[in-house]
Structure 1
Amino acid sequence: PTGFTNLVEMLAVLVIPAALVFMYGRMAGNRRQGYAIYATMMVMFLGAACVAYVAEAHGSPAQHAAGLHTHVIAGSTGGNLEGKEQRFGIAGSALFDVVTTVTSCGAVNSAIESFTGIGGAVPFANLSASEVIFGGVGTGLYSILLYVLLAVFIGGLMVGRTPEYLGKKIEAREIKLVALGLLITPLSALFCTALATASKAGRASISAAATGPQGFSETFYAYLSQANNNGSAFAAYGGYVQPNAGNLGAHGIKFADLVGGFDMLLARYAPILFALAVAGALAGKRVSPAGLGTMRTDNPTFVVLLIGVIVLVGALTFFPALLLGPIVQGLTGHLY
């Protein structure tokens, strides 16, 4: 592949998920609803891409500790090129990583584990958003629509009006189902990560070279990626059993295989059930005409509110775990 084919691959990953957002607006009978959701996705996507690029272009702690240059010179793109190919450079690698973690693609053209602390935190953040940016394979838009309903509910409470979305009133039953649908994936990923790091069998799957925050990052990313149907990885974490005289080359089963299977089963199917329950609850309600007090969900104000809700929920859920892994590496500059 070349830089051009790398761009074509990224466009191929995004074109259908992005188009489905506009299709949703047409199906809802209000194209501006689709535009608002698309704007939300694009702002978050571009923000993630910018952070990843700047972090990688700045270089790694190892480069700065060794006194190596990290700026662009003839024959070098500069920055942290560990685990990356020269033909793609920093920009092509960082952008590809963002594209494949905001969707459930999971392909890579560079080693995510070799990213800097802050650069590596970007795919964590993308996965923590639970496929709200351009949706996921087999799940589509339901993740961000759950956040839309939550944002409508919060906005309605702030202005003292009954929350409504597309003329349907959002009441306690729907919000309970929305909360369950949004929390089950983080719960699964965090529970499996805690179990893996607290048990001897779980720690055996961490590579011997990864210590401290790096080992935790490997573990957390593995279960977060599986919970979100992504497939990318901090590569050293695994369930592979090395062939030896006792197992005759068989793969064997390790802790990571069993817990990873549970993680995928719970985090992928349970949210679908809650999303269907929300859809069923709203389908049976009558459409109320919009009034003067109805909060609009197709303007820039709602886009800002929706982004704030997504970021706030993600931060409250995952920030403590991220502090133990990529963020502490990025802020301390230590080599682990």
Structure 2
Amino acid sequence: MKLGKLFSVSLEKPRLFNFKLTSMIYSFNWIYNGKNLYLILDYNPPTVAKVSEKDKELNATIYSLKNIITQSEAAEKIEKVLGFNEKIEEFYNKIKDDPLLKYVPIKLKGARLRSVDLWTGLVIAVCQQNASFKQGWRMLYNLYKKTGKVLQVEDHYVIALPRPKELVKLDARLLAECKLGYRSQTLIEAAKFFLENSLEEKLPRESPISAEKILREIKGVGQYSARLTLVLSMRYYELPPIDRWTARIAQEAYKLPSATVKTVERVLKEKWGRWAALGVFFLTVVLDAVPLSEALMRLKENDLKPSFSTEDLTPLNLWSKMT
């Protein structure tokens, strides 16, 4: 599906904003190609922003099937996705001496979490269930490549995940080819729940705690998946998504008596305040999302700087290495 060019807009970058880092963290090559960042601003009609950096500004060219979106609407959506309004300095002040995150303000200075829509956030979260970093993102990659809709922007191809009403109609054999295991059924249940409850309209009006409870009504979605969804889509940082990997690392770093979710959540909130979930997000980046045993060894050796040159797959090089 080829999209037509509508218009271009310029956006002034906020302080402490690094376009390259923000673009490359947890990206595939149809999202970021080393120069341009491609953001899906809408699905009906399909609308994509091609974003690049020039001096103190970001230049965004908008492509769509219909000329419906306005320049101000496009700029507002891009700024929201890129976290322009986040007071990142406050987060840095919280973590500057932290044993786990002290290198974030140094090595990842200006990097922001790039948010996604609610449905995409849930799909990402479900793919991470009981999976290593490589397994989870390979499943997501397969889902995009085998079931996604291709949107052509000039000579670049952007892939959009199937929306809930499209996913429930997918051939079971095609979904099986994505090698999601039991997660395929969870996604089907989630898609049905989205459609039956108009979730994309309802959830943004809820508090973080209420939103988590609603998502956990979906069969197969627990606390971790619900919270990760809310972090990625709504920047609800008050409720950190804690899995065994995070819990054990936190236990070791802060000398905790146990690694229960309740204990770790309490401590992370004490250490990182209202930024607790963003801290969990960046913890995976500074440790290159390596397996737990390796992460614990790196912690012991104070090796908490993200790698920019490793041959292994990491959150920073997904865009260039997963093909």
Query: Could you say which TM-score interval applies, normalised by the shorter chain?
Result: under 0.3
TM-score of the pair, normalised by structure 2: 0.27
TM-score of the pair, normalised by structure 1: 0.26
More strand by share: 2
